[in-house]
Amino acid sequence: MKRTIIQLSFGLGVLAFAAGCQDHLWDDHYGIDGSTETRTLMQVLESRPEYSAFCEVVRSQGLDSLLSTDQTFTVWAPTNEAMAGYVEDADTKDQFLNNHISRYLYGMVDLADTASVRVRMLNGKSQDYVREGGAYTFAGVPVEATDIAAGNGIIHTLRQRAPFYYNLYESIRQKDNGTDSIARFLTSFDEYTFDEEGSAAIGKNEQGQVLYDSIFDFNNDWLRRYGFLHSEDSVYTMIVPTNEGWEDGRRRMARYFRTFGETLKDTVKSLIIPDREYAVGTALADSLSDTYLKQAMCMDLVFRKDLDFGDVPGDSLASTSGNVFHHPSYLLSGATEVPVSNGRIWKTSALKHKPEESWLKTIVVEAENTAGRESNYAVISSRSASSTSFRDSVSEGRFIEVAATSENPRQQPVVQFTVPNTLAAKYNVYCVFAPAGAYMEGVAADSTKVNFYLNYVHEDGRMYEDAVIAGPMPTHGETMTKMFVTQIELPYANYSESPFEGPLTQDDDCVKLRVQANVDRNETTKFTRTMRIDCLIFEPVIE
């Protein structure tokens, strides 16, 4: 895009240019037999009868003085025919006049080497100025006459009024828009902070307190994380549930976010094994469930840029949360398109995200991560597979080696992992083991036997271990071993993924898997008590 900046000396009627080529461009725009237009935009508008209705509104809203200054503007002026039936209201200045006036000059020359230019209007919205063959449009409206010169700008004639579009955030919050439910959730994050330095003192009240022409800083943590829907400078595509769609999503997803409330008992059994009890069916439990549910419902609604879901590279698309959707056009099935100033809304009566691509995903716990990991009777070493043939087989390229500290068969090495972000759902549980050769090529192969203990909050609110689960087979000495542990249906969610802090809290370590070597004294010549654990996998069962 070529941008030509032209300085105007309005008082003298003299045009100053940075280069000779700009003289030529100005002549192309405005020169008439070598003369230069010195009248202001307002004077030129008033001199042409086809703009009389538009001028009446300009004067009524007090913008005639602005268009008479030495500031530079481009005016996109509707004809009297286009103004037919227009009635002024409280939004006229912002949604109509400031939607037809832009600072700086925009003319045909700006479309000489490009087909489209984004024009920032006085109301902060952006409109498209487009060349299609030999014709021009502005905001999708045909331009009847172009580059009408004035001393402080340019006028273009429009056959229709340019449409005003709310931005994404404004559109969602509009009354009678049918999106009150999601609007209440998003606006619950709105925060306004008084900016004392930016606010101008305008006097004092009767009590001697300083009065300000106040400025407030706006912040919304949800928008900051998932997309600046309120910004005219950002472009997004957003799936927006209607109130019906919101309730449909709640009905479909609520059971997965059922959770527990207050801690009633918190003790430790046998060194690292928690023994707790939680209240169930309380107000806190209900509030947590509702919070987790709404967070999950909304985290995959926003996508960067103005997108065609039916034509995306690689047939996959990532939301701003980072979750990836394959062949994503299904998300928009039955949705209605709503134009907005900073992208596109698809309003839907049913959220159609596949659970396994959005909020019910496979959970992988990397064994080498120390957070939430505890051990006993063991020395744990982190090992890298980067220099071996297993570099692409070991998850994240690393695993842990858990070695025994005692030969006592009653003190076999044990390591316990916290499994985060579990939902009230059915999971297939796996533990993946690496062979000795994943750390160093050429070492002797060995194998071990293990037991598993799954600890979680049961239906009655008590957190305790289920009966021991014996490993179905020894680990393989020369290859990776993905060992099936069990299939478990967790009655409560322990959803610690929410990025937002709030007054409602819950223990976030309420699902644990304990892995312990299980090699008898008379088996030590055949099996080792050293365990090499790559990761745990909780794979949801989609029914």
pLDDT in tens, 93-114: 999 999 999 999 999 999 999 9
Q: Kindly state whether residues 370 and 283 are assigned to the same domain.
A: no
Q: Kindly state whether residues 256 and 202 are assigned to the same domain.
A: yes
Boundary-marking domain end, from 143, 158, 173: 158
The answer to whether residue 177 is domain-embedded is no
**Contact yes or no for 358/380 (Cβ under 8 A):** no
The answer to whether residue 368 is domain-embedded is yes
- Asked whether residue 502 carries a pLDDT value surpassing 90, the answer given is no
Nearest residue to 101 (alpha-carbon basis) of 133, 125, 130? 125
Boundary-marking domain end, from 115, 142, 158: 158
Query: Would you state the pLDDT for residue 25?
Result: 45
- Mean pLDDT of all residues in 154-183: 95
Region of poorest pLDDT, from 2-11, 67-76, 276-285, 390-399: 2-11
- Asked whether residue 467 carries a pLDDT value surpassing 50, the answer given is yes
The answer to whether residue 357 is domain-embedded is no
Q: What type of residue sits at position 541?
A: V
Q: Kindly state whether residues 341 and 372 are assigned to the same domain.
A: no
Alpha carbons 219 and 389: distance in angstroms, whole number: 50
User: Is 500 strand, coil or helix?
Assistant: coil
The answer to whether residue 217 is domain-embedded is yes
Domain harbouring 66, CATH code:
2.30.180.10
Alpha carbons 418 and 178: distance in angstroms, whole number: 42
Residue with tokens 């972000």, as numbered in its chain: 421
* Bridge partner residues of 218 (DSSP): 192
In percent, how much of the chain has pLDDT > 90? 79
The answer to whether residue 358 is domain-embedded is no
Instruction: Quickly list DSSP for 212-252.
Output: EE--EEEEEHHHHHH--TT-TT--EEEEEE-HHHHHHHHHH
Query: Would you state the pLDDT for residue 271?
Result: 75
**Any idea what the Cα angle at residue 353 is, between residues 497 and 312, rounded to 5°?**
105
Q: Kindly state whether residues 11 and 150 are assigned to the same domain.
A: yes
Q: In which band, very low, low, confident or very high, does the pLDDT at 1 lie, cut at 50, 70 and 90? A: very low
Alpha carbons 228 and 232: distance in angstroms, whole number: 9
Q: Kindly state whether residues 25 and 128 are assigned to the same domain.
A: yes
The residue range of the domain holding 77 is: 7-158
Q: Kindly state whether residues 28 and 141 are assigned to the same domain.
A: yes
262 burial type by CB count under 10 A (0-12 exposed, 13-18 middle, 19+ buried): middle
**Contact yes or no for 41/75 (Cβ under 8 A):** yes
Domain count, the chain: 3
Q: Kindly state whether residues 72 and 135 are assigned to the same domain.
A: yes
Region of poorest pLDDT, from 3-7, 276-280, 457-461, 464-468: 3-7
CB half-sphere exposure, 227, CA atoms < 13 A = 26
In percent, how much of the chain has pLDDT > 70? 89
Residue with tokens 């538009």, as numbered in its chain: 54
- Asked whether residue 329 carries a pLDDT value surpassing 80, the answer given is yes
pLDDT in tens, 381-424: 999 999 999 999 999 999 999 999 999 999 999 999 999 999 99
* Bridge partner residues of 244 (DSSP): none
Query: Would you state the pLDDT for residue 7?
Result: 31
The answer to whether residue 142 is domain-embedded is yes
Alpha carbons 175 and 193: distance in angstroms, whole number: 25
Structure tokens at 470: 């014996």
**Contact yes or no for 44/148 (Cβ under 8 A):** yes
Structure tokens at 69: 């200054």
Dihedral pair phi/psi, residue 440, rounded to 5°:
-150, 120
Length of the chain: 543
- Mean pLDDT of all residues in 370-390: 96
Structure tokens at 390: 């297993």
- Asked whether residue 16 carries a pLDDT value surpassing 70, the answer given is no
Alpha carbons 289 and 255: distance in angstroms, whole number: 9
Top-ranked range on mean pLDDT: pick from 163-167, 195-199, 202-206: 163-167
H or E stretch at 20: helix 20-30
188 burial type by CB count under 10 A (0-12 exposed, 13-18 middle, 19+ buried): exposed
Query: Would you state the pLDDT for residue 543?
Result: 84
Alpha carbons 233 and 120: distance in angstroms, whole number: 9
**Contact yes or no for 458/402 (Cβ under 8 A):** no
Alpha carbons 358 and 323: distance in angstroms, whole number: 6
Q: What is the pTM of this model?
A: 0.81
Boundary-marking domain end, from 158, 193, 218: 158
The answer to whether residue 171 is domain-embedded is no
H or E stretch at 400: strand 398-404
Q: Kindly state whether residues 38 and 99 are assigned to the same domain.
A: yes
Q: Kindly state whether residues 17 and 124 are assigned to the same domain.
A: yes
Give, as one character, the DSSP assignment of residue 305: S
pLDDT in tens, 17-41: 333 334 434 444 443 334 478 999 9
407 burial type by CB count under 10 A (0-12 exposed, 13-18 middle, 19+ buried): exposed
Query: Would you state the pLDDT for residue 12?
Result: 29
Alpha carbons 409 and 399: distance in angstroms, whole number: 25
Q: Kindly state whether residues 215 and 330 are assigned to the same domain.
A: yes
CB half-sphere exposure, 67, CA atoms < 13 A = 31
The answer to whether residue 464 is domain-embedded is yes
Task: Give me the chain's average pLDDT, please.
Answer: 89
User: CA Rg, the chain, in Å?
Assistant: 33
Pairwise pLDDT comparison (193 vs 496), residue with the higher score: 193
Give, as one character, the DSSP assignment of residue 272: T
Query: Would you state the pLDDT for residue 164?
Result: 95
Nearest residue to 276 (alpha-carbon basis) of 289, 288, 261, 287? 261
**Contact yes or no for 43/150 (Cβ under 8 A):** yes
Residue with tokens 């700009």, as numbered in its chain: 22
Query: Would you state the pLDDT for residue 468?
Result: 94
Structure tokens at 196: 């004392």
Q: Name, in order, each residue with C-beta under 8 angstroms of 480's C-beta and a sequence gap of 6 or more.
A: 390, 393, 394, 432, 433, 434, 435, 438, 534
Domain harbouring 493, CATH code:
2.60.120.260
Query: Would you state the pLDDT for residue 15?
Result: 33
322-to-278, 302, 313, 319, 413 alpha-carbon distances in Å = 33, 10, 16, 5, 37
Q: Kindly state whether residues 103 and 151 are assigned to the same domain.
A: yes
Structure tokens at 131: 């060349």
Query: Would you state the pLDDT for residue 21?
Result: 39
Q: Kindly state whether residues 190 and 339 are assigned to the same domain.
A: yes
